[in-house]
């Protein structure tokens, strides 16, 4: 698995020295208990680290600068236990650059109506202090997520956990390196984009290589390694040979093992976490990378076909944002192909020439070797399967010339009841939300691509939070969307993100 490091998050508590040491001692005890309880809850995918209470601008600036500098810290969660005059936070947040969550909570769940006095109220005034703090962040236009509610509430804990996953994607995005073999598929518009702007906005380094640079790695792979990986394929997947000769079939499969080992070595040596191929640029390779890319995607690599570096980047971010989740259902590069327009059961068949990630497979995938309808290479081996049933999001990052827009469609993947024996590719059949007409008409109105990054394991709200961190436009088409509301969203975006 192309893993990332075990990040931590810092928990910062704000107060001031007006209340005396006795009060500050209680504040520290309370924040300690909250951090311990959140860590013990099992709800968070990453460790929360308690930090001493911040009571002046010097300690605030030094702590936030230390969070910026620590490579193991993915972000901070901040909470005002009492009142923390927010001018103290200005210098710190002028420098702070990592993801930020404002947890609007308080230590006690209920008001102790029988015993409450002025001391209690002064000591427990998050409702007051968090407003002062939030005012300053709003004035400074500091991007942040706000979660409100008692820290013991499972829903609050889940929202913190979801934000942590978004934060991992937002932070790791800064270090993402994408290798692109060849250029864009000739004449295609939507997969193009401004790579300089992408590096400023997302941090992505998108480097082009000649396919022959990678093919050298592929053709250098030792026969013993190819055989070992081919054996692993045969142990891991079913085989559908379509009547082909067993040796000839295996020789085609072994070609993908060679491609997989070569591409992985190239990516490891050159520190790339996402791969972009182009079927028009295959010099030195005997097959279009199919099974090889499917397995790298399953291992956490981003992937985009036909030069689509933007979708490759988003697939990688989604892999990162779901890495810490338990019970996840999968994330893949995907493409809208053809429609089922039966009244009451309308759906879009999703697939690609070859490269769909087996993490979304409903059952054990099978290897098939079949001709590719385009290009001039030999029949490539690929994994075929149908996708799991369930809700997910399909996302397309497009470049509108002056800015990026993320289009997010909530979709429901259907159970594939009718087999498609003659279709030798992995598929998902989904219905866009809120309904077929609004989903497809809205997508076209937004300028969304045919390629998407699809995942079951994030919500539209998670992807919006990610876009908010980057400061780019995001548009959701999902439950509750109407063409009227969508058009208004697009008009507002046109003005705001100009
Ligand atoms: Mn495509």
What is the residue-averaged pLDDT of the chain? 96
Ligand 1 centroid to 189 CA: how many Å? 12
The pLDDT of residue 78: 98
Tokens in use for 452? 């998407």
Ligand 1 centroid to 206 CA: how many Å? 19
pLDDT per position as a tens digit, 285-335: 999 999 999 999 999 999 999 999 999 999 999 999 999 898 999 999 999
357/297 Cα distance (integer angstroms):
6
pLDDT per position as a tens digit, 170-206: 999 999 999 999 999 999 999 999 999 999 999 999 9
3-state secondary structure of 80: strand
Ligand 1 centroid to 481 CA: how many Å? 27
DSSP symbols for 97-130:
-S-EEEEE--S-SS--TTT--HHHHHHS-HHHHH
Ligand 1 centroid to 288 CA: how many Å? 13
Ligand 1 centroid to 355 CA: how many Å? 9
pLDDT per position as a tens digit, 136-164: 999 999 999 999 999 999 999 999 999 99
The pLDDT of residue 262: 98
The pLDDT of residue 1: 55
Ligand 1 centroid to 306 CA: how many Å? 6
Residue 125, class by beta-carbon neighbours within 10 Å (0-12 exposed, 13-18 middle, 19+ buried)? middle
Ligand 1 centroid to 224 CA: how many Å? 33
Ligand 1 centroid to 444 CA: how many Å? 17
pLDDT per position as a tens digit, 337-378: 999 999 999 999 999 999 999 999 999 999 999 998 776 789
The candidate with the shortest Cα–Cα distance to 317, out of 355, 274, 265, 275, is: 274
The pLDDT of residue 2: 64
pLDDT per position as a tens digit, 100-110: 999 999 999 99
Structure confidence at residue 55 as a pLDDT band (50, 70, 90): very high
Residues with CB under 5 A from ligand 1 (ion): 305-306, 335
Residue 167: φ, ψ to 5°: -60, -40
The candidate with the shortest Cα–Cα distance to 340, out of 410, 449, 407, 428, is: 428
3-state secondary structure of 280: coil
286 in Cβ contact with 255 (< 8 Å): yes
pLDDT per position as a tens digit, 16-39: 888 889 989 999 999 999 999 999
Cα angle for residues 164, 167, 171 (degrees, 5° grid): 145
Weakest mean pLDDT among 63-67, 209-213, 416-420, 478-482:
416-420
Q: CA torsion angle for 186, 191, 194, 196 (degrees, to 10)?
A: -100
Structure confidence at residue 84 as a pLDDT band (50, 70, 90): confident
3-state secondary structure of 9: strand
Residue 227 has pLDDT above 90, yes or no: yes
Per the rule left: phi > 0, alpha: psi between -120 and 50, beta: everything else, 199 is alpha
């Amino acid at each position: 698995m192309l893993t990332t490091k075990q990040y931590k998050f810092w928990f910062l508590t704000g107060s001031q020295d007006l209340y005396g040491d006795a009060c500050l001692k209680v504040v520290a005890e309370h924040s300690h208990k909250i951090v311990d309880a959140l860590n013990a809850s099992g709800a968070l995918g990453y460790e929360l680290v308690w930090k001493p209470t911040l009571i002046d601008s010097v300690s605030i600036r030094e702590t936030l600068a230390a969070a910026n500098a620590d490579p193991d810290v993915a972000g901070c969660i901040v909470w005002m236990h009492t009142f923390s005059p927010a001018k103290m936070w200005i210098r710190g947040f002028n420098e702070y650059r990592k993801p930020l969550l404002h947890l609007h909570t308080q230590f006690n769940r209920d008001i102790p109506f029988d015993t409450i006095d002025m001391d209690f109220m002064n000591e427990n005034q998050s409702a007051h202090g968090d407003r002062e703090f939030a005012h300053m962040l709003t004035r400074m236009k500091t991007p942040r997520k706000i979660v409100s509610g008692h820290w013991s509430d499972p829903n609050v804990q889940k929202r913190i956990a979801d934000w942590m996953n978004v934060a991992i994607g937002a932070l790791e995005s800064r270090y993402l390196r994408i290798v692109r073999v060849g250029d864009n598929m000739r004449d295609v518009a939507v997969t193009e984009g401004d790579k300089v702007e992408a590096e400023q906005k997302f941090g992505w380094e998108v480097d082009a290589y000649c396919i022959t640079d990678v093919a050298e790695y592929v053709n250098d792979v030792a026969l013993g390694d190819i055989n070992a990986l081919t054996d692993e394929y045969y142990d891991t997947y079913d085989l559908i040979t379509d009547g082909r000769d067993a040796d000839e079939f295996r020789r085609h499969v072994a070609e993908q093992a060679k491609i997989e080992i070569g591409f992985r070595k190239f990516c490891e040596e050159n520190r790339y976490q996402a791969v972009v191929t182009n079927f028009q640029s295959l010099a030195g390779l005997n097959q279009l990378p199919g099974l090889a890319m499917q397995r790298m995607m399953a291992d956490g690599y981003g992937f985009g076909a036909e030069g689509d570096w933007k979708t490759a980047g988003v697939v990688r971010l989604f892999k990162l944002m779901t890495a810490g989740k338990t019970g996840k259902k999968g994330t893949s590069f995907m493409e809208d192909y053809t429609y089922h327009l039966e009244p009451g059961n309308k759906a879009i068949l999703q697939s690609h020439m070859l490269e769909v990630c087996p993490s979304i497979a409903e059952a054990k995938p099978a290897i098939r070797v079949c001709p590719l309808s385009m290009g001039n290479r030999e029949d490539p081996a690929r994994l075929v399967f149908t996708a799991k049933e369930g809700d997910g999001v399909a996302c397309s990052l497009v470049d509108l010339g002056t800015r990026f827009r993320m289009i997010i469609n909530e979709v429901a993947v259907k159970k594939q009841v009718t087999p498609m024996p003659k279709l030798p590719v992995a598929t998902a059949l989904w219905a866009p939300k809120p309904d077929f007409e609004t989903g497809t008409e809205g997508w076209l109105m937004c300028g969304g691509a045919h390629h998407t990054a699809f995942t079951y394991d994030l919500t539209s709200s998670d992807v919006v939070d990610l876009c908010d961190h980057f400061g780019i436009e995001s548009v959701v088409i999902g439950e509750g969307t109407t063409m009227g509301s969508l058009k208004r969203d697009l008009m507002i975006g046109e003005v705001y993100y100009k």
